[in-house]
Structure 1
């Protein structure tokens, strides 16, 4: 679904970016821009800028950037359409009814049907729990200490022992086999045809933050395998972007969320009054989960099982949350295995006290590292402090690093180590290069290999930034370069749009960004308008401008030479001519006078 450019621009113009972002980030005016702490990564010194004249934001720390649409998409985890609708409501703009394409209409109808199927399935399972056949399941839930109110609140149910009950029920509602297959509620094989995925299990409906049923978890009663069975990924269910219980926890009055392992953990905690508990859905915590959490809180208490698997899960989650800008602490449940056991044995008040004593996540990592070394031997102690130095080196903020050095010395000073000893070890390790720590993986799941920016790329980005900040230089720039001289495809596309805007009498980067609805692409385009270089006087400005312009022309010529067809003699003449013009321009570079005032 795509609205007209005029509507998209009207909504953007009626939502001043400073006003919108101020609702999420505390901004302070500094010159012609506003600055604050970036909501997309953890920082102590403000590097997040919002520029009213460009109607753009940009973080010089993590590179997040775009116009007001991209901010809402990134912060609220919205699609472009959802961000447009949100901002239109905010500005009082009524979006026109538009005709769906056949493909878009079918996609929307399929999604609506899948949500309806899941809703009917949840109602069916809930009903089955209260029938004669559901007595064992109901007894299992009440035996685990769940009240009728809690069972009703979470919509818990039961899937009958017959493997085609739900299928027959939904077929009776008129749904096709193709749509039922897409729901993830059924399996298909040649011998049995289509049959229920969940049977003879206690059922936990999974809801999104808008309280819509998007999937299910089923727990076997007894010793069957697998213990838990979850819905597969579908058109409405993405495990990496949803958390169990968040539909309730997001309205909590607490200023933190409690992240635990399973459905029963969440339910038991909510029943005990800890309504800010959530859990991932059968998967390890992902960056998508962390971004979702960031929408509702800036602190998470990690409450995994106290066994080895739970500790490993906590260690994986800590850096993912940190990368998203969410601080974390780790709760020890010992001697109990999980929160359900703890609350049953010690009560809610003791559990509240245990939460209050949650350990700082960095120091938790230090404590776990300690267990890997023979601390009764000098060699083991040395290896331990080497590991600590490596973890400290991950901290980019110097004050934060110093505070943790003090904390480590306070706790492990009995081994004769002082703050200077640790600091020296960190510095020594830094001189050897970046430590080979576990890095956060990008969304693609492949290691992030950030290419070093070339001089040619830098020149093109500087020129685009100057054209936006000082549109008066267009007249001079157009004498020597055109959009076709930008050799990076995205830069060329942006240059073409800027040059066209200039011809129409307005250079408007905020409007230009409307053309890029993909969040990552808009972030990259925003970086093109925020390239920086330190220039102290007019002479340095002149040299920087002439260097950038010549570099752009040189790279453009190289690209033309690379793609030249040897049989094209006219093209060869053009290349020879362009090369001569570039040489002449280099000799007359002093004529490339420009003013940034």
Structure 2
């Protein structure tokens, strides 16, 4: 994609993009490319293309594109540096110990230490479950009907009743208390005393997209508050970004193209135990936009299996609204009063749950019914504006406007007028606990800039020559010049050298244009060099003419005559 640094180039050379993408997407060969459904947006046809010979992917539906590192980072929700390091380790590339940015190196050491401590804690909790300390937890799991297979699949464990059990283990492996506090595994009181955060709880490890333990959820097995205790935010865990069981469910989702989304840890485990391997959970909080976006990338359809009480219906409304605005198909599965999916499956088996699935309500119909029955008139209008205004796709908006108007008893014409006044309708801000997504700056290229940059993309062997000839000076704005610098390998920092989303989309489209032959490339380069020379001469003449005017204004006739001679020489008229 550019003149990558040695480390990036080595990873891209070693990592097979078809194999990496094939872990998440079912691909079929079409000529020299591979095609499948896009994992980054909802679709039924295969708009997602992988070009193994050129080492990049591109989706014609959502315009996602990039190289194997871009895909790996995006599918696993990783920052570039972390994604590069993980992929390098996976394909056996040694990135070396030297780091150009000492702050990044310190941050990496902190993250690595957090991951190592969580891995150690996970092994410790699982080990205790099989010993005397785990007797109460084993009896609890037996009462709840959790099979040995599910205990193993979800790596369930138990934290000891004492105050320093895990702390002692961490210290024994060389981890100091301050690091364990940062990792969220120890708690520190006002008096400076430290102790285990999780004590006497059934432990549920939470994994990232690569299967690494990044957090825990702990449940009391008797009396005690809080009933559930989750990890605090740490350098490796951000609340609202992950889904419990998604790592385990992803292979099944890839086959069924459906997800079952529930609320609790045991709900997810029980669904898997009864054969619903595409189940995952929202980690006990209201669903966030980041969770909805991540889930919709794996499953075109999501069935919401939330409790039937008032909080469950409210959570289902929130989740359905977000999934629908992302363009996904969504249903809400009704559960009997007083039942959750865990108790229902153990009491009535698959037949009982299948009967609920058959009665599942379309997600939009559910939203409209809930809003109609629960909201005041002013709130109904506000909800309609927020929901429809949140649809980025004009086609979806056109589809939903008549249904929303009819379902909420609103005049369609008035609703359209409301939506046509964006300045008077404030855009919905981030919900509590969420951060607003950074706004992407406008990115436009003049035709001449696009022609030069497209040439550099298709003939990277000319990038250094163009840079040496000063082609960057021709580009019309800062965005184009920075893009050229990245393509030509003139940006030293690896993170800064990565292409932005608009640049990546331009790069992918240029790659799909016809190749430039050696003869045409040489002719274009020569033409560009002539143009550069003429442009510099024109700039020089303009500069001399400005200097002549200034000399005349000062009354310096001698300097003006000297400059006039220089101008005549530049214009090829020295004999006149």
1:230/1:465 CA distance change after superposition, 3 Å: same
Partner of 1:342: 344
1:186 Cα deviation after fit: 0.9
Render the CA deviation track for 1:251-278: whole Å, top value 9, x for unaligned: 3254312111121211222233322221
Structure 1 residue aligned with 2:367, among 365, 368, 388? 365
Count the aligned residue pairs: 506
1:495/1:215 CA distance change after superposition, 3 Å: closer
Render the CA deviation track for 1:559-593: whole Å, top value 9, x for unaligned: xxxxxxxxxx99x969989xxxxxxxxxxxxxxxx
Measured in 2, the distance between the counterparts of 1:192 and 1:18 equals: 52
SS of the residue 1:251 aligns to: helix
CA contact (8 A) 1:56 1:526 kept: no
CA contact (8 A) 2:35 2:50 kept: yes
Partner of 2:481: 492
Partner of 1:525: 503
Measured in 1, the distance between the counterparts of 2:328 and 2:93 equals: 35
Larger deviation, residues 59-68 vs 137-146: 59-68
1:133 Cα deviation after fit: 5.1
Provide TM-score, normalisation by structure 1. 0.65
Measured in 2, the distance between the counterparts of 1:192 and 1:210 equals: 35
Partner of 1:200: 200
Measured in 2, the distance between the counterparts of 1:404 and 1:199 equals: 49
CA contact (8 A) 2:270 2:342 kept: yes
CA contact (8 A) 2:429 2:436 kept: no
**Mapped pair 1:138 → 2:138:** yes
Render the CA deviation track for 1:434-491: whole Å, top value 9, x for unaligned: 884864759981376666x5xxx74x4544212234679x9xx99x996457675443
Measured in 1, the distance between the counterparts of 2:105 and 2:422 equals: 54
Measured in 1, the distance between the counterparts of 2:321 and 2:121 equals: 38
SS of the residue 2:195 aligns to: strand
1:219 Cα deviation after fit: 1.6
- Over the residues paired in the alignment, what is the CA RMSD in angstroms? 5.4
1:351 Cα deviation after fit: 0.6
Measured in 1, the distance between the counterparts of 2:211 and 2:296 equals: 19
Measured in 1, the distance between the counterparts of 2:381 and 2:54 equals: 48
1:362 Cα deviation after fit: 1.9
Measured in 2, the distance between the counterparts of 1:224 and 1:204 equals: 18
Render the CA deviation track for 1:147-198: whole Å, top value 9, x for unaligned: 4443444333333332122223433444333443333211123536221111
Measured in 2, the distance between the counterparts of 1:220 and 1:168 equals: 22
Partner of 2:96: 98
1:304/1:172 CA distance change after superposition, 3 Å: same
Larger deviation, residues 441-450 vs 237-246: 441-450
CA contact (8 A) 1:57 1:67 kept: yes
Measured in 1, the distance between the counterparts of 2:72 and 2:504 equals: 15
Q: What is the correspondence of 1:147-296 to structure 2 with a 5 Å cutoff?
A: 147-189=147-189, 191=191, 193-252=193-252, 254-294=256-296, 296=298
Larger deviation, residues 4-13 vs 360-369: 4-13
1:371 Cα deviation after fit: 0.8
Measured in 2, the distance between the counterparts of 1:364 and 1:59 equals: 32
**Mapped pair 1:445 → 2:430:** no
Measured in 2, the distance between the counterparts of 1:574 and 1:221 equals: 90
**Mapped pair 1:465 → 2:450:** yes
Measured in 1, the distance between the counterparts of 2:550 and 2:327 equals: 54
Measured in 2, the distance between the counterparts of 1:271 and 1:25 equals: 25
Gaps of 5+ in 2: 511-530, 552-576
Provide TM-score, normalisation by structure 2. 0.67
Larger deviation, residues 422-431 vs 348-357: 422-431
1:275/1:466 CA distance change after superposition, 3 Å: same
1:344 Cα deviation after fit: 3.5
CA contact (8 A) 1:465 1:529 kept: no
SS of the residue 2:374 aligns to: coil
SS of the residue 2:216 aligns to: strand
Partner of 1:565: none
Larger deviation, residues 296-305 vs 108-117: 108-117
Partner of 2:331: 329
Q: What is the correspondence of 1:553-568 to structure 2 with a 5 Å cutoff?
A: none
CA contact (8 A) 1:298 1:326 kept: yes
Measured in 2, the distance between the counterparts of 1:574 and 1:285 equals: 69
Partner of 2:555: none
Gaps of 5+ in 1: 375-379, 502-510, 533-548, 558-568, 578-597
